[in-house]
Structure 1
Amino acid sequence: MARHRPGGGRRRYVVLRAGARHIAGGATPLRPVTVGIIGAGNVIWAYFQVLDRLLPRGLARMGPVCARRKETWQDLQTRRPGVQLVPDPAGVLESDVDVVLIITPPETHSSLVQMALEHAKHVLVEKPAAATRCEAKQLDQLAQERALHLMCAPFVQLAPTFRALWGRIHEGAIGKVHSARGLYGNAGSTWARWYHDGGVSPLAEVGIYNLKSLTAVLGPVVEVQSAESLAVAEREICGEAVGTAGADVSHVLLRHVDGALSSLVSGHCIQRYRRPALEFYGTEGTANLLGDDWDPRGFEIWRNSAGCWEEFEPLDPTWLWADGLAEMVNALREKRQPLHSIEHDLHLLEVIEAGTRAAREKRAIAVQSRFRPLDLRLQERQDRHHLHDHTRATNEQ
């Protein structure tokens, strides 16, 4: 594969919260970080995969798992021998865990995050953290008062392949980016009613991945235009016909702080797609992230100066979209800030609220909040030609 090492940078890199603050209640490097989980839906298996990379190395320890529906216990115990199951969140919150992972339906996130923080636990929560920016801001303030980490999904900024592309774009590989676009969606849920009850929009549930990636590269959004529609009025969920509440298709047009424009399509009625996850168009070239931003398969770059497409393999094919949990564990052990910006997540919630309002009022809506982008530069290995086992992480071979 061709390798591209661009020269002098064109943008300044800014590290959010450069000075590390004291973190209370975290595990020391002398013992594993104990992780408890509230929620036992289908995403729990992705987080179990992350834990299975941490547990054997002594980096983490498994705490209790709250599964409210006892009819799921037998399957969990069969597939996860030795798991400690509890029927109520209190069984996790009142235990000695260092980190609480919250993977319940979205409408419960905010209250559970608050409870966990009040119990002096670091928190990792699936998206969205709250229904509104204002609500999430209160959670952030509580975390800061208690000197606790609060990390919100999605964790696309942690993917090594995305970080490698981010670095090349910010070093000027394609010139000044003026346009970008993303698309992500699925065919909807056959198992979760909350997916289609109107409580969480397609932009908030699936579009938020691309939204976080686009803003990580292009910076904060200052204006949103949006349109929504309903494509599938009735669905079968758990064997029953259920009416779809709210839109299941979302198109948004974003104006970023530096003048770039981006567009994003998200939906719960997209059957399949075959296109780049993200496309960036600059004054001197083009860059595409391949696969999905939550599961990147590499990237490709066209530079006018080279006159050809350069293709780059994924830096770590084993990276998981749930690896925010690994970042939390490692940050606590190393007594550092996670590579994560809560201000960025708060901004995304305001953009999502503005998108809903723009679609309803059929006009552009201004976004007031800002965030300082993280420095996502990555020190890439120079011996990747020796990495032949794509089933193992690069630090395991």
Structure 2
Amino acid sequence: MKIAIIGTGWGARVQVPAFRSAGLKIVGIAAQNYEKTQREAATLNVEAFEHWRDLLSSDADLISIVTPPGTHCEISVAALEAGKHVLCEKPTALNVLEAQTMLEAAQAHPEQLSLIDHELRFLPIFQMARALINDGAIGQIRHVNSSVIFSSRADPQRPWNWWSDKEQAGGAWGAIGSHQIDMLRWLCGDFSSIRASLHTFVTERPLDDQLLPVTSDDFATAQVRLANGGFASIMISGVAALNENDRMIIHGEHGAIKIEGARLWHAERDGEWQERTPAHTVAIPSEISGNFPVGTVYLGHALKAYSRGQLDALEQAATFSDGLLTQSLLDAAHRSDENDGGWITI
């Protein structure tokens, strides 16, 4: 499978080496700044394209869209109409209306892949956790706690960019909350309602010689009612004093599962935690570390297997249908925050 990447951030830094390690060919890269694209392309030994639309006429089989959310709808629809498979970064879009448009384009081209890049689904620790839950190891889920705590946006001198702009779907809730929502749905089932509080601690950031207002959140907390009767709590902070391991603890009637960093534990009720971290099933390059980059390696192997005819290799992938559901929950949380944290029925 030949892949073209739109974006010189995560796409160049992580996807290129991860996908290459899985045996995929990168045939081109494009981004907004052509000079930067040329520099990145030279470093990566890949062809630079001046505009993302130029990639649609290349020999790429799949277009990976690693751009700000406000561009996802236009690029995804155009790529599908050009006959390309699509892998789109999260959050899916600016809003539910755009996510619905993307899904309709995908449904009009059912022979093509239309995936959202929730690569954590492919990590062995999360697949093992899902298997334990589905096999009844913890019984019916009662409550879940999921937290992502990091410090990268705590510095007020970090420059303003689209991440600082709510109108461009910036903020911690969209960037990180989309992953937490997707993983909670994948492991624990659908949501019935949600309430949230979104906050901005760093209210201004510099750009060139001026300070611009930050309108997006850098802290978010949400409570979720699960369709099966359980509850989940989500916390995200991008302005912590220091980084913590990402953590998810799922309590059921018979036991619990804990995922912290890259490790997995299981405990029976009133028992001790027993580590259940599975071994890697593919080679991970030494320069690639962290759940998201490693998950991208696994996603690359799944794409490779799919291209060789193993059609079930991507059965665990998040589709545009999943993307629409996640987007509806992201939007619902914003409505809840605007209404003093009231419950929003899904």
Name which of structure 1's ranges 142-151 and 263-272 shifts more when overlaid on structure 2. Answer: 263-272
Partner of 2:339: 361
Q: Which one has a bigger Cα radius of gyration?
A: 1
- Say yes or no: does 1:47 pair with 2:15: yes
Give the counterpart of 1:322 among 296, 302, 305: 296
Q: What is the one-letter code of the residue matched to 1:288?
A: K
Shift of 1:336: 1.4
What is the count of residue pairs matched by the alignment? 324
Instruction: Say what the alpha-carbon RMSD is for the aligned residues.
Output: 2.3
Distance 2:11 2:254 in 1: 41
Distance 1:74 1:138 in 2: 32
Distance 2:150 2:213 in 1: 18
1:183 and 1:207 in contact (8 A); partners too: no
- Say yes or no: does 1:97 pair with 2:60: yes
The within-5 A match list for 1:1-397 is: 33-55=1-23, 60-73=24-37, 75-81=39-45, 83-146=46-109, 147-188=111-152, 190=158, 193-198=161-166, 199-200=168-169, 201-236=171-206, 241-274=211-244, 277-291=247-261, 297-304=262-269, 307-316=271-280, 318=284, 320-323=294-297, 324-334=299-309, 336-337=311-312, 338=314, 339-342=316-319, 343-362=321-340, 363-367=342-346
Q: 1:249 to 1:315 in 2, by over 3 A?
A: same
Name which of structure 1's ranges 130-139 and 151-160 shifts more when overlaid on structure 2. Answer: 130-139
Partner of 1:371: none
Shift of 1:239: 8.0
Unaligned runs of 5+ in 1: 1-32, 292-296, 368-397
Distance 1:341 1:137 in 2: 15
Distance 1:202 1:269 in 2: 10
Name which of structure 1's ranges 119-128 and 308-317 shifts more when overlaid on structure 2. Answer: 308-317
Instruction: Return the TM-score normalized by structure 2.
Output: 0.86
Shift of 1:154: 1.9
Q: 1:43 to 1:191 in 2, by over 3 A?
A: farther
Partner of 2:287: none
1:64 and 1:91 in contact (8 A); partners too: no
Shift of 1:283: 1.8
Q: What is the one-letter code of the residue matched to 2:260?
A: L
Q: What is the one-letter code of the residue matched to 2:237?
A: G
Unaligned runs of 5+ in 2: 285-290
Distance 2:63 2:20 in 1: 17
User: For residues 23-46 of structure 1, what are the alpha-carbon distances to aligned partners after superposition, in whole Å with 9 as ceiling and x for unaligned?
Assistant: xxxxxxxxxx11111121244221
Distance 1:148 1:127 in 2: 19
Q: Percent identity?
A: 20
Shift of 1:330: 2.4
2:149 and 2:236 in contact (8 A); partners too: yes
Structure 1 runs of 4+ aligned residues shifted over 6 Å read none
Shift of 1:120: 0.6
Shift of 1:76: 1.6
1:156 and 1:212 in contact (8 A); partners too: no
State the SS of the aligned residue for 2:264: strand
Shift of 1:185: 4.3
User: For residues 296-335 of structure 1, what are the alpha-carbon distances to aligned partners after superposition, in whole Å with 9 as ceiling and x for unaligned?
Assistant: x111122137x32201234329372324344233223225
User: For residues 72-98 of structure 1, what are the alpha-carbon distances to aligned partners after superposition, in whole Å with 9 as ceiling and x for unaligned?
Assistant: 2453244223x1101111220111211
Shift of 1:350: 0.7
1:185 and 1:206 in contact (8 A); partners too: no
Shift of 1:62: 2.1
- Which structure features the higher share of helix residues? 2
Distance 2:304 2:99 in 1: 22
Partner of 1:394: none
Q: What is the one-letter code of the residue matched to 1:331?
A: Y
